[in-house]
Amino acid sequence: MSLRETLQRVFGKPYATVTPEQAVDLVGQGAVLLDVREPHEWQAGHAPKARHIPLGDLPRRSSELPEGKPVLTVCRSGHRSARAAKLLAGSGRPVSNVAGGMTAWARAGLPVVAKGGGPGRIA
């Protein structure tokens, strides 16, 4: 292992970071958008094609995510989803964190829907 690889392993993040706009493109190419917020946050508003597994449930429910597809993690601001990305990357999955979370998603003018499909808001 080279010095660069060693330093990346010790100090680097084991996942990539993408913008909300890049996330939309990646979902269009087959990536899974995983929202790790709490149920009340999800119900208030989420990305239309997102899947929901709260961060606390992720260790026991990660098998619900399809194998072989990149996973994009998102939360309200990007902190919880960074923890989720690290957890998933540790199991060998290709994963990226959505920078700025759903707050940045909504700020970018991307759609947010509530449970049931109506207009949503970021809680």
Question: E strand or H helix at 35, and its extent?
Answer: strand 32-35
- Asked if the structure places residue 113 within a domain, the reply is no
Q: Tally the domains of the chain.
A: 1
- Asked if the structure places residue 6 within a domain, the reply is no
- Asked if the structure places residue 112 within a domain, the reply is no
In the block, residue with structure tokens 């990357």 = 89
Domain that holds residue 82: 15-107
Sort strands 32-35 and 95-98 into parallel, antiparallel or unpaired.
unpaired
- From the list 75, 88, 98, 99, the catalytic residue is 75
Residue 101 annotated among the catalytic residues of the structure: no
Map residue 120 onto helix, strand or coil.
coil
- Asked if the structure places residue 4 within a domain, the reply is no
What is the distance between the alpha carbons of residues 78 and 100, in angstroms, rounded to a whole number? 5
- Asked if the structure places residue 84 within a domain, the reply is yes
Residue-averaged pLDDT of the chain:
92
pLDDT, tens digit, for every residue of 39-93?
A: 999 999 999 999 999 999 999 999 999 999 999 999 999 999 999 999 999 998 9
- Asked if the structure places residue 103 within a domain, the reply is yes
Prediction pTM value:
0.90
Residue pair 98/18 in contact (Cβ under 8 Å)? The answer is yes
Query: What is the CATH classification number for the domain harbouring 82?
Result: 3.40.250.10
Q: What is the pLDDT of residue 7?
A: 47
- Asked if the structure places residue 101 within a domain, the reply is yes
- Asked if the structure places residue 53 within a domain, the reply is yes
Q: Structure tokens of 59?
A: 């260790």
Phi/psi-derived region of residue 87, left when phi > 0, alpha when psi is between -120 and 50, beta in every other case:
alpha
**Rg of the chain (C-alpha set):** 14
